[in-house]
Structure formats: C-alpha cells, structure tokens
Amino acid sequence: MPRAFTPKVVTANALLEGDAVWFTEANTWSRDIQHAELITDEAHADLRLLEAQAQQGEIAGAYLADAKAGPDGPEPTHFRETFRTRGPSNYPHGKQVETQSRT
C-alpha cells in the first residue's frame, strides 16, 4: 500500500554559492525555507519539481523535501532539512556568521 502524500517543499543548492535554497510560489529561489511554497498536492509537487529542475543555470540537485506549516511559513520535518536551514557547518561562513553576531 502506498504511503499517503505529506506536504513538501522543493529544495536544491544554489549553483554558484552552494547554499541551500527553497523554491517559492513566484518561481524564485530563497535562502530562507519560510519563503518556500508549501505543496500539499502530490501532482502539483511533481509539476513544481520539474519546473525547478528546469532552472539548471541557477541550482543543482533539486528534490522534494518533507515540510509542515509553521507560524511563519514552512518548517522542515526531517533532521537533514533542519540542518540545511542553518547553512554550512564550518565557521565563519554563511548563515552562521549572522547567528554569531546576534549572540
């Protein structure tokens, strides 16, 4: 028996910088998952993934990732995606620089 479809976001890596990015309803890429389009229909998710994969000049490795609705937009439901929202794991690069400066 197939598993029930769960909400998804389209994610990839920015081609030049390597940052994790998420596909928005406006067909743009955001480095903030909260700006991503939360997709609740399987057929629509497949279509959006194809549209994202067509942007090979901007991104690499697009795929559907499980997500849920949060108070400020989509939130990851899997550790891997949570980790990707935090940026590179080596200081002082990416989103972690901003985190350091706020402490």
Q: Please state the rounded mean pLDDT for residues 4-15.
A: 96
pLDDT beyond 70 at 98 = no
Asked, for residue 3, whether it belongs to a domain, the answer is no
Predicted pLDDT of residue 87: 74
pLDDT beyond 70 at 95 = no
pTM here is 0.83
Q: What is the pLDDT of residues 12-29, one digit of tens each?
A: 999 998 899 999 999 999
Asked, for residue 95, whether it belongs to a domain, the answer is yes
User: Which amino acid, one-letter code, is at 64?
Assistant: L
CA dihedral 53, 13, 23, 30 (to 10 degrees): -150
Closest CA to 14 of 42, 43, 55: 55
Predicted pLDDT of residue 3: 86
Q: What is the pLDDT of residues 41-94, one digit of tens each?
A: 999 999 999 999 999 999 999 999 999 999 999 999 999 999 888 876 655 555
For residue 67, give its domain range.
8-102
Q: Checking DSSP bridges between strand 73-76 and strand 20-23, what pairing results, if any?
A: unpaired
Asked, for residue 70, whether it belongs to a domain, the answer is yes
Number of domains in the chain: 1
**Confidence class for position 2, pLDDT limits 50, 70, 90:** confident
CA distances from 21 to 2, 4, 15, 56, 102 (A): 29, 26, 10, 13, 22
Asked, for residue 71, whether it belongs to a domain, the answer is yes
